[in-house]
Chains A and B, each alone.
Chain A
Amino acid sequence: MLKITEGSYAVAEAVRLCRPQVISAYPITPQTHIVEALADMVANCQIDAEYITVENELSALSACVGASAAGSRTYSATTSQGLALMFEVCFNAAGMRLPIVMTIANRAMGAPLSIWNDQQDSISLRDSGWLQFYAEDNQEATDLHVIAYRVAEDHSVLLPALVCFDGFILSHTYEPVDMLSQEDVDNYLPKFSPYERLDAADPISFGMYATPDYYLEFRYEIDNAVKRAKDVITKAGKEFGTMFGRDYSALVEGYRLDDAETAIVAMGSICGTAKDAIDEMRDGGKKAGLLKIRVFRPFPSEEIAQALGKVKRVAVLDKNISLGAKGALALEVKDALYGSGIPVKDYILGLGGRDVRKKDIKEIVALLEKGVGDQFYGLRKEVL
């Protein structure tokens, strides 16, 4: 059913339909509307979940670790500083192979303090073993939650998953979203069946310590599981398409890319802006296209290499920066295209909520054509 709703409410509604049994979260801008909406659903018996109002984000995710290990489907949501406070628990949850799903309303990292959007927060978690999905719009943000549970809980994966959508730009925007029904989600998402759980009838130990004789193999197994998630995502995304008409089988999605000479690579809401800019550039005779990265972990290197194999040049738009190096997406796109000879330039932009407009995308394409890149874009030189 098509409904005009705020992104945060749409996400909360999707989470409700997934029937989490334990929700544990702490308020932080711009994630608050999600956890407020869920609290309201609990207060009105629209969702049958234990809602733990914890004292900070570290405890929010820690409670999810306990609840997931005890055999419940769990949910949390956070952003930026809150995610940073969870950092230690994030690695722990992945290491213990607990399929927690968490929404990130992407926001910049302080200092200086900024409540506005970029993707530095979740990108900084790239090495933690969490799957990472990035939504272009609120329809995708909503659907990806349902898919994330399905993939995370798959016994060949068993990993936690982040569903990232841009703070304010998506979280606070009203747009039409086709809402699934409870029946739809129940048909698509099986009941949580933990591979192992804390159970007095069958005692096991979770979270033991590993000597150097075992640790390396544990990490290898986790890495394999993240990589195995690729096929599971493809299958789950395809089935979603068959059932509901929106196919998410591809980890990356091309837009007017088939005959493109110039490709833009981006993640999140900026893709919508890029598509409009590309349409206008195409009208002007420029062969531009977009490759949207929907799944950042597992990283779709082969898919990217294949999708960009015929382009002449690539501009990567990074709403993050690995300070002292480059944007995280560019680093990995360059790795994916290594040896192809295709020039890849990186543009760090939109940090801390700086607006990115169609004309910026066009300007970046012009810079790329001149071979100018691997730099910040849109700096206000007068304040430097």
Chain B
Amino acid sequence: MVDKTLELFDCGHRACGGCGASLAARLVTKAAGRDAIIVSSTGCMEVFSTPYPETAWKVPWIHSLFENAAAVASGIEASLKKQGRSEKVVIMAGDGATFDIGMICISGAFERGHDFTYICYDNEAYMNTGIQRSGATPYDASTTTSPAGSCSFGNKLPKKDMPRILAAHGAPYVATASIAYPTDLMQKVERAINTKGPCYIQVHAPCCTGWGFEGEQTIAIAKLAIETGLWVNFEMVDGKVTKVKKVVKKPVEDYLTTQKRFRHLFKPKRQDAEIAFIQSIADKNAEKYGIEIKLKKE
């Protein structure tokens, strides 16, 4: 059982008000408990939580480089095994560190089958360096390296399907979660750390600064991502989807209009074709995972 009163990610850190990633850190550490060793990649979370000589982490924590968290975690796990110690190893890395620069280390570590839980806090771009696109950036999002302009609608590449890539490595437990559903997130973390072998959880963590919304909207926006089908919360056990968060589906516009990164789709002129294409992404997600609850018509 998760002790929800446990606070292992302390207040006073340097994250923006309304930061989704910091909430993810707080929820993950609650679920992982005092016996977890956290491995961070370089990124927002590492920087806002550990400005020397201060640290927000009340559990053992290490940061080495941007790309090597999975390899560092491999070494920690091997060392603990050799010493007969029972601590759990939990990686907390951003989407750039996970989808892009850390891919080789991650693939190697999952192939080797180390006993750790890899949590990617996914805020869908390189936020620490100033909102550049990553392999996790959604279609048409405007970032500083995929800006919307007179001949561009922003990021033209689809979001990489990391959960399935890692499931294909033989990961026994893969899940997606959202900071908008904290109980679900904590249960998934608890399940992952108690599952032997390399587990992966991708947590949707909206970034008010990078996405362009007011900090008090973080939870509402994370919820809308799920309600529109642009983010799907699911669990995969041994490569098979076993649980999906079902929703009464809303149009993607409800989500897109809340964030400045999609503003160019509505102003100065509404871009119907682009919005329709994003709707088709959500519809495909809905079909693929069977998320939709159809209300009976009166």
Chain A: residues with CB nearer than 8 A to chain B?
Answer: 21-22, 24, 48-50, 52-56, 58-60, 62-72, 74, 88-89, 92, 96, 198-200, 203-211, 214
Taken together as a complex, chains A and B put the C-alpha atoms of A58 and B105 apart, in Å, by: 8
Q: Is the CB of A72 within 8 A of B68?
A: no
CB pairs A–B below 8 angstroms (12 shown): A21-B82, A24-B74, A24-B75, A50-B82, A52-B75, A59-B68, A62-B75, A68-B79, A71-B83, A72-B79, A208-B51, A214-B53
Residues from chain B with a CB closer than 8 A to the CB of A24 are 74-75, 78
Q: Given the interface contacts A55-B108, A70-B37, A209-B46, does A22 sit within 8 Å of B63 by beta carbon?
A: no
Please tell me if B55 contacts chain A, counting CB pairs below 8 Å. Answer: yes
Q: State whether A211 and B51 are in contact (beta carbons under 8 Å apart), knowing that A67-B78, A89-B65, A200-B59 are contacts in the complex.
A: yes
Q: How many residues of B contact A (CB 8 A)?
A: 45
B275 within 8 A of A: no
Closest CB in chain A relative to B14 CB, distance in Å? 10
Q: Give the chain A neighbours of B60 by CB distance below 8 A.
A: 198-200, 203-205
Q: Which of A50, A60, A66 contacts B64 (CB 8 A)?
A: A66
Most buried by A among B47, B62, B75: B75
Query: Do A209 and B78 contact each other (CB < 8 Å), given the known contacts A55-B105, A62-B64, A199-B60?
Result: no
Complex CA gap A60/B74 in Å reads 10
**Selected contact of A205 from candidates B35, B50, B78, B79, CB within 8 Å:** B50
A24–B67 Cα distance when bound, in Å, is: 17
| B6 → chain A closest CB, angstroms | 13
Report yes or no: B104 in contact with A69, Cβ–Cβ below 8 A.
Answer: no
Whether the Cβ atoms of B63 and A62 lie closer than 8 Å is no
Expressed in whole angstroms, the Cα–Cα distance for A198 and B77 within the complex equals: 11
What is the minimal beta-carbon distance from A83 to any residue of chain B, in angstroms?
16
Instruction: Using known A-B contacts A64-B75, A65-B72, determine if residue A208 contacts B105 with beta carbons closer than 8 Å.
Output: no
Using known A-B contacts A58-B67, A89-B64, A96-B64, determine if residue A66 contacts B39 with beta carbons closer than 8 Å: yes
Is B171 in contact with chain A by the CB < 8 A criterion? no
Cβ of B2 under 8 Å from chain A: no
Q: Are B104 and A56 in contact (CB under 8 A)?
A: yes
Contacting pair A58 B82 (CB below 8 A): no
Q: Are B74 and A54 in contact (CB under 8 A)?
A: yes
State how many angstroms separate the Cβ of B286 from the closest Cβ of chain A: 36
CA distance A16 to B144 in the complex (A): 52
A203 CA / B105 CA spacing, docked (Å): 26
Q: Which residues on B sit within 8 Å (CB–CB) of A214?
A: 52-53
Beyond the given A62-B105, A72-B79, A72-B82, please list 10 additional residue pairs across the A-B interface where CB-CB is below 8 A. Answer: A49-B82, A54-B71, A62-B64, A63-B78, A65-B68, A66-B76, A67-B76, A89-B64, A89-B65, A199-B60
Contact A52–B55 (Cβ < 8 Å)? no
Judge if B174 is at the interface, Cβ distance under 8 Å.
Answer: no
- Roughly how many angstroms separate A48 CA and B71 CA in the complex, as a whole number? 21
Contacts of A206 in B (CB 8 A): 61-63
Q: Are A89 and B68 in contact, CB atoms less than 8 angstroms apart? A: yes
Q: How far, in whole Å, are A68 and B75 apart by their CA atoms in the complex?
A: 8
Residue of B nearest to A24 (CB): B75
Q: Are B57 and A203 touching (Cβ within 8 A)?
A: yes
- Which B residues lie within 8 Å of A53 (CB)? 112
Q: Shortest CB–CB separation between residue B66 and chain A, in angstroms?
A: 9
